[in-house]
Amino acid sequence: MPKGPVTSPRLQDVAEAAGVSIATASRSLSGATGVSAPVAERVRETARTMGYVVNLHARSLAGGSTRSVGLLVHEIGDPYFSEIASGVLGVGAREGLTVQICHTGRDPERELAQLRMLIANRVGAIIIAGSGMVDPALQAPAKVELQAFRRSGGRVAVIGRHHLGVDAVLPDNTEGARSVAQHLLDLGHRRIAVAAGSRQLTTVADRLSGVEEAFAAAGLDVGDVPVVEADFTRAGGKVAADEVLSAHPGVTAVLALNDDMAIGVLSALRARGVSVPGQVSVTGFDDVAVAGDLAPSLTTVRLPMSEMGEQALLLALKDPGARPRRRQVGAELVVRGSSGRPPS
């Protein structure tokens, strides 16, 4: 952008003003050892009065190191990702790192383009948040890029299951889904519909398998359980709810595979005059901040998103291990007002 006469003071200028060499000035300002205290202080003072700000591009070019990380999310406006981002920004600030955030829009091509951009920016670490794809082929180009990045010294961590062969923070999607399904079964529900996102998403696949596990253990025929696939969003939840109501009118509970869909389901049920949980129970997954403030408040599975973001960055910052590390994080059932006994 700036193309004109950009004129910020350089280290050179500070050094001259302070009457020292550029090397001494550099050492003073970067807090390195080997400078006498009074000299260092004088340099810092001159820099301050001149409004000098180090040029990090020059620093990282010369020093070879970077103090920045990249974060790839599907959509920052989505609470799931914004809470993860919050965690990442938090430790980033603590560690003095700058964080570059990019949208992928769940599109492998855009993901790849943004990945390249981050690599071009020579970030020290890349965090990828959000579900992977069940089909490894879709992520193959990204994998190639990432491995080259790691070979050249970059660190990578992902949140959620991926076929990327890197450090990962893994929420226990299967167990979480099993527990919320079990919760509905315990309440006495037998006619349960699942509102799911695309089965191409590993998150959906994992959660679905947890649900099926619980159903199977309860002696239900998994084949009989309607699984409605729609967008993994609020709008998708509405679509799914409408389909459930029209195609499976006897259903007494809708188990949505994320909170966003659950909110859409609640909204669609309200619009149709179906009482929750009186006629139909609804559950979600993730426990986004607003889940507890909905009416009825949403029964869901809590994932510590912010903490997952923190963990991912911390993992990436660690010395690289010989093989990929995994940080399992718990998924805890949170029972609130949207689930109850089925109508008798």
Partner DNA sequence: GTGAAAGCGCTAACAA
Partner DNA sequence: TTGTTAGCGCTTTCAC
| Continuous H helices in the chain | 11-18, 22-29, 37-50, 56-63, 79-94, 108-120, 140-151, 173-187, 202-217, 234-247, 259-271, 305-317
**Partner from a second copy, DNA, none contacting 153, C-beta within 5 to 8 A by type:** a second copy
d(C-alpha 68, C-alpha 212), whole Å = 42
Among 16, 17, 44, 54, binds DNA (CB under 7 A): 54
Nearer to DNA (CB atom), residue 12 or residue 328: 12
173-187 and 202-217 helices, crossing angle to 10°: 40
Site for DNA in 59-78 (CB under 7 A): 59, 61-65
| H or E segment to which residue 73 belongs | strand 68-73
d(C-alpha 111, C-alpha 97), whole Å = 22
Per-residue binding string, DNA, 7-46, x by CB under 7 A, is ---xxx-------xxxxx-xx-xx-xxxxx--xx------
Least Å from the CB of residue 234 to DNA? 42
DSSP 3-state assignment of 34?
A: coil
DSSP state of 133: B
**Partner from a second copy, DNA, none contacting 263, C-beta within 5 to 8 A by type:** a second copy
Q: Which stretch binds DNA (CB under 7 A): 4-12, 178-186, 255-263, 320-328?
A: 4-12
**Partner from a second copy, DNA, none contacting 222, C-beta within 5 to 8 A by type:** none
**Partner from a second copy, DNA, none contacting 328, C-beta within 5 to 8 A by type:** none
Nearer to DNA (CB atom), residue 13 or residue 213: 13
**Partner from DNA, a second copy, none contacting 77, C-beta within 5 to 8 A by type:** a second copy
Q: Are 161 and 131 in contact (CB under 8 A)?
A: yes
Nearer to DNA (CB atom), residue 62 or residue 247: 62
**Partner from a second copy, DNA, none contacting 110, C-beta within 5 to 8 A by type:** a second copy
d(C-alpha 274, C-alpha 55), whole Å = 60
- In 3D space, the residue among 331, 293, 313 whose CA is nearest the CA of residue 79 turns out to be 293
Q: Is residue 139 a contact residue for DNA (CB under 7 A)?
A: no
Nearer to a second copy (CB atom), residue 110 or residue 190: 110
d(C-alpha 174, C-alpha 207), whole Å = 5
Give the residues across from 302 on adjacent strands. Answer: 286, 332
**Residues forming the site for DNA (CB under 7 A):** 6, 10-12, 20-24, 26-27, 29-30, 32-36, 39-40, 52, 54-55, 58-59, 61-65
